[in-house]
């Protein structure tokens, strides 16, 4: 299953479904596998940060650098688990857990004030001035 050139078996599909808490149907998993194979250009069974950045929507996302530390080196099963937070079938808890990981930039299990400011900086970029950012910081 890890090799992009292999085909998914029914067992593989069911295993991936179980791993992602049935957030995706079997057909969706097959479609995700096809996309995974397209992204895995070197057929290594893993998707690198560079390969993720080849997706235009990912590359322009203001949080892409934060997401990259979560996705670099994912195999197919991990890829589907990562994407499961975006599924309409994901629970609120799964979605909140995902967002928490995005905000917890140092991975210490806490979202600190510094983490919040870093996310604010990532999201606003050059669209607001440093003075406006300082005002938001004081508000927080």
pLDDT tens track for 98-128: 999 999 988 889 998 888 888 888 888 778 8
- The per-residue pLDDT for 1 is 52
| pLDDT tens by residue, 52-62 | 888 888 888 88
Q: Residue 47's beta-bridge partner residues? A: 74
The CATH number assigned to the domain with range 1-89 reads 1.10.238.10
Ranges of each domain in the chain: 1-89, 104-140
CA distances from 111 to 6, 80, 114, 118 (A): 40, 25, 8, 11
pTM for the model: 0.78
Neighbours of 71 (CB within 10 A): 18
């Amino acid at each position: 299953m890890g090799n992009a050139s292999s085909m998914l078996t029914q067992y593989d599909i069911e295993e991936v479904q179980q791993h992602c808490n049935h957030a995706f149907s079997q057909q969706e998993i097959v479609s995700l596998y096809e996309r995974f194979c397209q992204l895995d250009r070197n057929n290594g069974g893993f998707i690198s940060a560079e390969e993720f950045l080849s997706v235009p929507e990912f590359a322009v996302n203001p949080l892409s650098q934060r997401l990259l530390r979560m996705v670099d080196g994912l195999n197919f099963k991990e890829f589907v688990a990562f994407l499961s937070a975006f599924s309409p079938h994901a629970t609120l808890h799964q979605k909140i857990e995902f967002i928490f990981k995005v905000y917890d930039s140092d991975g210490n299990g806490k979202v600190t004030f510094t983490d919040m400011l870093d996310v604010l900086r990532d999201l606003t970029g050059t669209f607001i001035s440093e003075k406006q950012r300082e005002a938001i910081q004081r508000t927080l």
